[in-house]
Amino acid sequence: MSDSLSQRLDSIHSMLSAGHRNLRIERHTLLLWGLMGAALLLLSDRILTPAQFPDVAQQALAWLLLLAVSLGGVAVLDWHLTRRIKRHRDEAWSFIHRQVLKVWWLLMALGTLMTFATFFFGGGYMVCAAWVVLLGLGLYVHGLFSEELLEWVGVLAILTGIASLVSRLDYVTIRLIAASVFGLGMPLLALMLDRGRSRPSWQRMAQSSAWTLVVLSVPLAVQRYGDFGAPAEAPALTLDAFRKGAGAEGRRILTLPAGTPVPVEVRFAGNLFRNDPAITLPLTLSKPVELVLENGVPTGEARFDGEPWARGTAGLWLHIPKLDGALTPDRGPLVRAVVNANTAAGRHD
């Protein structure tokens, strides 16, 4: 008698659980959004570059248009494919499904506007990690009403994005991790879906741990053992030879030795200060730097003292821990700032 009652209670509990989790995320949804996100992240340093759009406003608008077209196209394609599958199954769009879909589109729109805003307010270092957090939040919200596994993976994605910032990884590594979460994590998650079946917590934890291991091990191994950003073989060029006119044609690798003077021009904009000419700071290199030249013009590829090749300032860590002011009778108004500039290997110095 007690066993029969227990089985009935379990059946009722399963029916209630199935009623609460009545959504199903389609596998093509995870594939489309994951592959598009990975493509944008991996090609972000090769499309719409500052060389193509010298003006910051133009570059920001170009990126806004690119993200709106690409992500909007994925949203429309995903919606049409999902609608066709539901028609084939003779299923209707539930109210909850429509609301969850709106939340997902809202998160993608927030990520697009956040990326656009970083061109004017800074914070570009955090863009890739923020996209991972938004993705994890979207998966978690969807998992509340559908696959339980989406909740677990969503939380892990949020923690991955936050941990990459807390650990102060360099931008290239964070971008690789974000691309892996989208390009590997989403398709892998599509294969792991079990149509809302109830699983014990230890099994969900094992599935989530395996997902995290794959998603993190691949980009970290690529960053550790692969130097895919290395330029093609090119003759070496010294700074003295470059000053004498060498390297004006073809591809060369210019070496700037430690102790080389590098004047840094600083120009202030806005209506608070009036300072038309740029201020020049007489700084010198503390470690050698290699630059790639194409017909005498830097291509943006650089390597700091034996570290992996990077494009632009991807391997450079800038941090302003102190910015304050003072007012004294002998010196008058004074603005003080401390700027830490480290390479990827020395960012904790």
DSSP-assigned letters across all residues of 178-226 = HHHIIIIIHHHHHHH--TT----HHHHHHHHHHHHHHHHHHHHHHHHH-
Spatial contact of 215 and 188, defined as CB atoms under 8 Å apart = yes
Domain end (from 178, 205, 225): 225
Domain end (from 193, 225, 257): 225
Q: Are residues 70 and 189 in the same domain?
A: yes
52-66, 223-237, 244-258, 274-288 — most confident range: 52-66
Between 31 and 6, where is the model more confident?
A: 31
Write down the pLDDT at residue 74: 96
Within 8 A by CB and 6+ apart from 201, the residues are: none
Domain end (from 192, 225, 258): 225
Q: Are residues 202 and 249 in the same domain?
A: no
pLDDT over threshold 70, residue 266: yes
Q: Are residues 220 and 334 in the same domain?
A: no
Q: Are residues 113 and 255 in the same domain?
A: no
Host domain of residue 38: 19-225
| CA geometry: angle 271, 272, 275, nearest 5 deg | 85
Q: Are residues 324 and 297 in the same domain?
A: yes
Report how far residue 161's alpha carbon sits from residue 149's, in angstroms, rounded to the nearest whole number.
19
pLDDT over threshold 60, residue 298: yes
Helices (H), 90-185: 95-121, 127-143, 148-166, 171-180
Q: How confident is the model at residue 38 (pLDDT cuts 50, 70, 90)?
A: very high
Q: Are residues 213 and 243 in the same domain?
A: no
Count Cβ neighbours within 10 Å for each residue of 113-127 and write b for 16 or more, e otherwise.
ebbbebbeeeeebbb
26-35, 90-99, 317-326 — most confident range: 26-35
Collapsing DSSP states into helix, strand and coil, what is residue 93? Answer: coil
Q: How confident is the model at residue 15 (pLDDT cuts 50, 70, 90)?
A: very low
Q: Are residues 213 and 326 in the same domain?
A: no
Q: What percent of the chain has pLDDT over 70?
A: 77
Write down the pLDDT at residue 307: 72
pLDDT over threshold 80, residue 83: yes
Write down the pLDDT at residue 41: 92
Write down the pLDDT at residue 22: 65
pLDDT over threshold 60, residue 94: yes
Report how far residue 327's alpha carbon sits from residue 140's, in angstroms, rounded to the nearest whole number.
51
**Average pLDDT score over residue span 286-304:** 80
Q: Are residues 187 and 50 in the same domain?
A: yes
Spatial contact of 132 and 165, defined as CB atoms under 8 Å apart = no
Q: Are residues 205 and 240 in the same domain?
A: no
Q: What percent of the chain has pLDDT over 90?
A: 31
Write down the pLDDT at residue 132: 96
- Which two structure tokens, joined as six digits, stand for 201? 């917590």
Q: How confident is the model at residue 29 (pLDDT cuts 50, 70, 90)?
A: very high
Number of folded domains that form the chain: 2
pLDDT over threshold 90, residue 285: no
pLDDT over threshold 70, residue 111: yes
Q: Which of 168-182, 224-238, 292-306 has the lowest mean pLDDT?
A: 224-238
Q: For residue 121, tell me if it sits in a domain.
A: yes
- Which two structure tokens, joined as six digits, stand for 271? 């209506």
- Which two structure tokens, joined as six digits, stand for 56? 């910051």
**Average pLDDT score over residue span 43-55:** 77
pLDDT over threshold 60, residue 19: no
Q: Are residues 216 and 242 in the same domain?
A: no
Q: For residue 6, tell me if it sits in a domain.
A: no
